[in-house]
Each structure stands twice: as C-alpha cells, then as structure tokens.
C-alpha cells in the first residue's frame, strides 16, 4: 500500500532507477541499496551494501514491507562470467533469505525475457517456455539460475521478465543503449542478417514492477515486452528517430561469427579487455526473440506504449546529456 517502505536494489541502474521513480509516484517510500558510498538516489533513503555479501543485508531491510530486486551484473566480458554467477544467482538467493529474516512480506525480482528463449516455429514465446540451458549467453544462463533461486526462496516472490528496454536514462549504457548511441553517432556500418527482438519502453517496465508488487501472483513469471520487431525494422526505427540512414551493408552471419570468435580470443588473452563484437551477442542475433505478453496484460493490466517514442526519448536524452554532439 502507498506509504509502505520498499527496499530497492539496482536503483542507480537503468531499469532500477525508473522502478524507484514509479514506486515513489505511487506513494511508496524507498530505501535504496547502493554499492558506492555517496551514491545518490532521488527521494530515497540510501544504504550501502553488496550482493556478494547479501546475507549481511537483513539489518538494512528491517522495517521494509516489500523488496524489489532489480540489481544484476550484465556483461559479455569472459573475465566477469564467474562474478555474474555470484552476483545474479548466489546474490539473489542470499538477498531473499535476508529479506525473510528481516520480515519482508513480498518480493519482486527482475529476471529477463531471454529466459523464455526465442520464438519457436514462428510462435512467440510465453511464460510457459524456458530457454535451453546450453547455447545461451553467460548472462542469460545466470538469469535462468536466478529464477530457480527466486522460486525456491522462503519469501513470496513475483518474477518480472523484461525483454529489451529502451528509453531515457541509459547512462552506462546497456548493450542495447550502446547500439542506439552508436547508431546515432553513425558508427554502425553494417546490419546483421535476419533475427529480431522485442523492444519495450523502460517506463512501461517500471510500472509493470509496481503492478507485480500490488497484484502479481507469487512464484509466477510475467513477460513484460512491447513490440516484436525484426532487426531490419529496428534499423528503420532508429533511422526515423535519429535522421541517419540505416546501414545498407548486410553482414553475413559467418563473417560476424568469425569476428566474434576472434574478439572472444582477444579478451581471453587480455583479460582486462572488453568485447567489441561479443560472441554471445552474435550467436543470438539470428534468433527471433519474440514474446507474447498476454499474461501480464490480463493479470497486471499491463498496457505497453509504442517503442518508437521510447527510442526517440533515448536519443533525446543522449543529446541533452552530452553523449551526442
């Protein structure tokens, strides 16, 4: 209920910052977990802690009625794969147990739309589907394991599965935000062959978290997406909102796969380096990551908005904040 105290993780991140604002707009009070002392979260009480020491967070959650867990490590860097497992899987399990000890009544955990896998025989994936454990990226595999940890927790948990969020405030940026930014800078010379994804307005994702907290069914998964678009349509949308032409050159998958393999080897030889052509991303680029969000629409009154507006908002935010000259 409005006025209740909600413990929010990841509130300085892309999704989490929007979730914290949406909760605040609904009248909830926010206690935000941050890793760096001095980090600021608007209109929130801030506490410092780390998911690698999640068991120590029970004291920080005392007095909170609810938990919304948005924090996660998302990286294509080979050197961070073990860390992703510790943060996304073990960290979630520890956090939820700490929440139980602290007396938290209900939790919402941010998973990923990738955990349902791609469309099958042209049929969009639903919450009844699960991605294959083999062949997924390390990040997406960690989110599958995170879901299992969340369902096994001894506190009621609702799972929210965003697809590919876009919109303002992607400061890091996320891999998708990087594509938007590189396109706006004219740095994408070629497009991949085939494939597609589901794009969603990050503000719709945020409001879906609020709805999941208020009316979601414990231990249920809710896909939160916007529009299923081919990669060709994605480039067209980016062209419309940036005024730049879509790349005319189509990159054969075999060439992209070779480039990704070489880049992976480079990162293994030079552990401090970060992928330029992530092999995991290349492998997924041929898939049609299309989903059906009927369940969230029916049970959470979820109503996504046009993603073109969200892409335009992302580009405008990058311009306003000095990312684009």
DSSP 63: T
- C-alpha torsion 324→164→265→249, nearest 10: -60
Using DSSP, state whether 216 is helix, strand or coil. Answer: coil
251, burial (CB in 10 Å: exposed 0-12, middle 13-18, buried 19+): middle
For residues 159 and 109, is the Cβ–Cβ distance under 8 A? yes
How much is the pLDDT for 136? 59
Sorted by sequence, the CB contacts under 8 Å of residue 62 that are 6+ apart come out as: 102, 103
Cα gap 92→71, rounded to integer Å = 9
Cis peptide before 173 (omega within 30 of 0): yes
pLDDT tens readout for residues 125-175: 999 999 987 655 788 889 999 999 999 999 999 999 999 999 999 999 998
Q: What is the pTM of this model?
A: 0.94
For the chain, list the domains and their CATH numbers: 5-165+202-225+290-305 (3.40.50.720)
For residues 120 and 129, is the Cβ–Cβ distance under 8 A? yes
Token output for 237: 């949308």
Q: In this structure, what are the phi and psi dihedrals at residue 264, rounded to the nearest 5 degrees?
A: -60, -45
How much is the pLDDT for 281? 74
Token output for 36: 């760096």
* Nearest by Cα to 76 from 283, 278, 306: 278
Strand blocks (E) in 86-169: 106-110, 157-162, 164-166
How much is the pLDDT for 79? 79
CA of residue 144 relative to chain centroid, distance: 13
Token output for 143: 């989110």
Please report how many Cα atoms fall inside a 13 Å half-sphere around the Cα of residue 39, on the Cβ side: 18
For residues 51 and 98, is the Cβ–Cβ distance under 8 A? no
Cα gap 178→306, rounded to integer Å = 20
Token output for 215: 């009316």
Residues of the chain short of pLDDT 50, as ranges, are: none
Cα gap 120→129, rounded to integer Å = 10
How much is the pLDDT for 55? 84
How much is the pLDDT for 277? 74
Pairing of strands 249-251, 190-192: parallel
How much is the pLDDT for 219? 97
Cα gap 183→178, rounded to integer Å = 8
């Amino acid at each position: 209920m409005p006025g209740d105290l909600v413990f929010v993780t990841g509130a300085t991140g892309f999704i989490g910052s929007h979730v914290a604002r949406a909760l605040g707009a609904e009248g909830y009070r926010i206690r935000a977990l941050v890793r760096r002392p001095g980090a600021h979260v608007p209109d929130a009480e801030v506490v410092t802690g780390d998911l690698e020491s999640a068991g120590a967070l029970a004291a920080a959650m005392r007095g909170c009625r609810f938990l919304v867990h948005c924090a996660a490590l998302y990286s294509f860097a080979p050197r961070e794969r073990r860390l992703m497992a510790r943060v996304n899987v073990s960290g979630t399990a520890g956090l939820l147990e700490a929440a139980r000890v602290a007396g938290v009544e209900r939790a919402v955990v941010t998973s990923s739309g990738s955990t349902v896998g791609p469309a099958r025989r042209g049929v969009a994936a639903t919450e009844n589907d699960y991605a294959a454990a083999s062949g997924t990226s390390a990040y997406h595999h960690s989110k599958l394991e995170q879901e299992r940890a969340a369902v096994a927790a001894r506190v009621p948990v609702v799972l929210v599965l965003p697809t590919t969020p876009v919109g303002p405030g992607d400061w890091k940026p996320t891999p998708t935000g990087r594509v938007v930014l590189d396109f706006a800078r004219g740095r994408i010379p070629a497009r991949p062959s085939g494939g597609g994804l589901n794009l969603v307005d990050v503000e719709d994702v945020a409001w879906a978290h609020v709805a999941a907290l208020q009316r979601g069914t414990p231990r249920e998964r809710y896909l939160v997406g916007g529009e299923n678009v081919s990669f060709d349509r994605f480039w067209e949308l980016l062209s419309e909102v940036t005024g730049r032409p879509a790349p005319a050159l189509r990159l054969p998958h075999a060439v992209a796969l070779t480039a990704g393999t070489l880049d992976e080897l480079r990162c293994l030889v030079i552990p401090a380096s970060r992928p330029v052509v992530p092999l995991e991303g290349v492998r997924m680029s041929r898939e049609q990551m299309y989903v059906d969000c009927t369940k969230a629409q029916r049970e959470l009154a979820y109503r996504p908005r046009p993603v073109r507006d969200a892409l335009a908002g992302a580009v405008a935010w990058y311009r306003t904040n000095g990312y684009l000259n």
